[in-house]
Structures are given as structure tokens and as C-alpha cells.
């Protein structure tokens, strides 16, 4: 296997990419980093993956995937070929020619950007950065992060961006569980701090994805990612608000959307739900609102969308409580079964799922609550809901359904037997439009 060769100029770096002499380092081997690593190995590159979790590293080096939608067979093949290795040793960051940062960018307790993982990663890279390396940030963040946070740290030891090393931003666009689009088939936006950085970053991604979209700066690339997710967040909030209004009018929002979606132009359908979830939509918009505040601006649409989406779990539970009251029962003391713990259909990803807020709120109101999710056998401990007890998925059966006062559909997994649910549940609160209008014992929420 050829050794990786330091590339001191853009043309050298591009030539090394074309000849597959470039070794790629992926920092953070989660839902973004691991698929990206396997995409590079599939294209003939050697990949050194970095993660701080020793157990995760050991499992990966054994060819065992811990992400359900990523096949262990594919990972095992990459390991056996010698093109993939995982490590927890930061001193090895000097080995790869390209370092791609895929670490979390959550919000802190004050709902402000927490870039501690990016900062720690930048410090680790700076300690061993060598001439000719390319550093790319993929983590979602506010415009200016690459230039204002990463660049100064990487230049602290005297090397200069665009001369001694290259620096770029390329936002991740992963959609876990999407059968139509994988990492290699999704166009990649790429922005460099300088023309040389842009050239080598675009060449690197161009070797493994269907197409690249070059933009003029890292700030534009950073803003493009926020714009994609803010667009979704605002439209999800819009249909959720319409659901509330139409519900008060006695109009079914899903029937309205079915009708509106027949228009062949000027309308893009979004569906309502019990709230928002996943690592992107509930978090990313607030990176821009924070940055706007630093500039003395107010991002009203984004903030209102956040208020609407954050309030949906309580609205759903209010509907449940009101429906129980109509039959002479109180939520306090009732047994509620939540169907679906994941944040989206047919995935095992529970990050920021509204199901956790619904479970917590149902319990706060005095009900006994459990869940069924065919993809998540044990509920993980969630930082935002520390009061939740340890929970495991309950096997779905007629006896289970009949033993609960209500079933609340939070995630519409395809593997759930909804006919069984409808036959045996006393009350179904459907937040996903699973059942047709007028289905017996089903209310839409």
C-alpha cells in the first residue's frame, strides 16, 4: 500500500487525491463521521478515524457497527481491506493528509452554541499540525466559525493558512435511514478560507460524492447549512400552527394538506407532528439567532418557529387529557403507551426526540407511561430529561394495548402493527396521520 505523501502545494495535493495516495482522517465517528469514513474507503482512500470513546474504537476495529443503519458487513470489509482503522490517540492526527471534523455542536443550558467539542478538536490538531495538511470542518455552526475560531488556533504555532496548510468548511448533509440518498449521492457544498484551500477541499470531496458545489467562502458554506435546516424548522412550525388552528375549527389538517399537495406548483408539503427532533432541526436554527443577537439583530421567524415547535408536546398531551376527560377519566392515574421513541420514522436515532418530552410531561401530570419502539429496545439516558426513569420497549400485544388507557403515536414506524393497535386500544392519539379520518377511537393531534 503506498505511503501518504505530504502535499505542499494545491497541485501536489490534488495529484495525490487522484492517485489515492491521500490518507483521510475523520474526527468523530458518529452518525456523520462513520458514513463519511466508509464513503472514502469505498472510493479507494485509506481512512484513520478518531474518537474519544475507547469502547467505540474497539468495536469499529473489530468490524462492528454501533449505528443500526450502517451495515457491519460493509464496515468489516473496510477493516479487512486495511483501508479503515479507528484510534483514540490524538498524537496520530499528524498522519492523515486531510482531517475532517465531524464532532457535535449542541446547545448549552442557556440555549446558546456549545462549540467546546470543536474547540477541543482544534487544539488537538494544532498540537501536531504539519505542513501540507487540509483541515475541513463539517459540524453545523454559525457563519464565521471556521475563520474566527478554527483558523487562529491552527495558526497559533506560526503556520499560515493557504501557505502551510489548507482550511475549509463543508456542511454535512446526512439523513439517517433515507433509502434514496447516501453520503456519496448527496451534492457537497464546499467553501475555503482562501482559493488554495477551496481547490484542494473541492478535489477531495469531488473524488467521493456525486458532485460538489463550490461557494465563495466558508461563511457562505456555513450559512447554507443553517438555511437548509431553518427552512425545514419554519415550515414544520407553520404546519404545526395550522394544525392547532384547524383543529379548533373542526378541520382535519392532513386532509387539508392532501388537497393542497395536488397543486403542481407553488406548494411544498410539510407534515405536522408532536414536535421537532433529531440533532439538526431543534438545534441549528438557534446558532443563527445567537449570531444575529451578536450583531444587534432579532430573527423573529426563527424564534417564533422555535416557540411553536417546542410547545407541540404540551398541546398533544392537552388533547389527550381532554379526550380522556370526555369519557370520565383523568390523565392523573391513567396508563399511557407511547408508540415510537425515535425522532423519525424507521430509524433507531432518539436524539432530541419529542417522545422524551411527552413521556416526561405525561409522568409529571400523574400518569404511568411506557413506550414501544421496534428500533430502540432500551431508552438511552437523555441530558435534557434527567427525571425520566430507566425504560425499555414493551412488546406490542393485545394484552399490552388493552391494559393502557390511551396509546399516543409519536413516531409512525412502518414495523408497527397499526391494525392490532386499532383493534385493541381504548383510545389512540394520532400525531402523525397514520389512520384515516373517522377511524373509530382515534383522535388526531
Q: Which residues are catalytic?
A: 280
- SS3 of 87, please? strand
Q: Which residue has the cell 448549552?
A: 108
Q: Which residues contact 112 (CB under 8 A, 6 or more apart)?
A: 286, 290
Task: Yes or no: say if 135 and 63 are a contact pair by the CB < 8 Å rule.
Answer: no
Q: Which residues lie across from 24 on neighbouring strands? A: 47, 98
Q: Which residues contact 421 (CB under 8 A, 6 or more apart)?
A: 339, 396, 401, 407, 428
Closest of 113, 110, 121 to residue 25, by C-alpha: 121
Cβ-count burial 353-386 (b if 16+ within 10 Å, e if not): bbbbbbbbbbbebebebbbbbbbbeebeebeeee
Task: Yes or no: say if 343 and 382 are a contact pair by the CB < 8 Å rule.
Answer: no
Q: What is the DSSP string of 93-142?
A: GGS-SEEEE-----B-TTS-B--HHHHHHHHHHHHH--TT-EEEE-S---
Burial class (CB in 10 A: 0-12, 13-18, 19+), 340: buried
Amino acid at each position: 500500500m503506498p505511503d501518504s505523501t505530504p502535499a505542499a502545494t494545491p497541485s501536489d495535493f490534488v495529484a495525490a487525491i487522484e492517485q489515492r495516495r491521500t490518507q483521510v482522517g475523520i474526527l468523530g465517528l458518529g452518525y456523520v463521521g462513520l458514513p463519511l469514513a466508509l464513503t472514502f474507503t469505498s472510493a479507494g482512500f485509506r481512512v484513520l478515524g478518531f474518537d474519544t470513546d475507547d469502547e467505540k474504537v474497539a468495536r469499529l476495529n473489530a468490524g462492528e457497527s454501533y449505528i443500526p443503519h450502517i451495515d457491519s458487513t460493509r464496515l468489516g470489509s473496510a477493516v479487512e481491506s486495511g483501508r479503515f482503522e479507528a484510534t483514540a490517540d490524538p498524537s496520530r492526527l499528524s498522519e492523515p493528509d486531510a482531517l475532517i471534523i465531524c464532532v457535535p455542536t449542541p446547545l448549552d443550558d442557556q440555549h446558546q452554541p456549545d462549540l467546546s467539542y470543536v474547540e477541543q478538536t482544534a487544539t488537538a490538531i494544532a498540537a501536531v499540525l504539519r505542513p501540507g495538511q487540509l483541515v475541513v470542518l463539517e459540524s453545523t455552526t454559525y457563519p464565521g466559525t471556521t475563520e474566527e475560531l478554527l483558523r487562529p488556533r491552527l495558526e497559533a504555532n506560526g503556520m499560515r493558512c493557504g501557505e502551510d496548510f489548507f482550511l475549509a468548511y463543508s456542511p454535512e448533509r446526512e439523513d439517517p435511514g433515507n433509502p434514496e440518498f447516501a453520503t456519496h449521492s448527496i451534492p457537497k457544498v464546499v467553501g475555503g478560507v482562501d482559493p488554495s484551500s477551496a481547490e484542494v477541499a473541492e478535489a477531495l470531496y469531488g473524488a467521493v460524492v456525486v458532485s460538489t458545489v463550490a461557494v465563495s467562502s466558508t461563511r457562505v458554506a456555513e450559512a447554507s447549512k443553517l438555511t437548509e435546516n431553518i427552512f425545514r424548522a419554519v415550515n414544520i412550525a407553520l404546519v404545526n400552527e395550522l394544525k392547532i388552528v384547524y383543529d379548533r375549527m373542526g378541520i382535519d389538517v392532513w386532509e387539508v394538506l392532501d388537497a393542497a399537495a395536488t397543486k403542481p406548483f407553488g406548494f411544498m408539503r410539510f407534515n405536522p407532528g408532536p414536535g421537532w427532533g433529531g440533532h439538526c432541526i431543534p438545534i441549528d436554527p438557534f446558532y443563527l439567532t445567537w449570531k444575529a443577537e451578536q450583531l444587534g439583530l432579532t430573527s423573529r421567524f426563527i424564534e417564533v418557529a422555535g416557540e411553536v415547535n417546542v410547545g407541540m408536546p404540551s398541546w398533544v398531551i392537552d388533547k389527550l387529557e381532554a379526550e380522556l376527560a370526555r369519557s370520565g377519566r383523568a390523565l392523573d392515574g391513567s396508563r399511557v403507551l407511547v408508540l415510537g421513541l425515535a425522532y423519525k420514522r424507521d430509524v433507531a436515532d432518539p436524539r432530541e426526540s419529542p417522545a422524551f418530552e411527552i413521556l416526561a410531561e405525561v409522568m409529571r401530570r400523574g400518569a404511568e407511561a411506557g413506550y414501544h419502539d421496534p428500533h430502540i429496545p432500551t431508552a438511552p439516558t437523555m441530558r435534557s430529561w434527567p427525571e425520566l426513569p430507566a425504560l425499555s420497549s414493551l412488546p406490542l400485544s393485545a394484552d399490552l394495548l388493552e391494559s393502557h388507557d390511551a396509546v399516543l403515536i409519536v413516531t409512525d414506524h412502518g414495523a408497527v402493527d397499526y391494525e392490532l393497535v386499532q383493534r385493541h386500544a381504548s383510545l389512540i392519539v394520532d400525531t402523525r396521520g397514520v389512520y384515516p379520518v373517522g377511524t373509530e377511537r382515534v383522535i388526531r393531534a
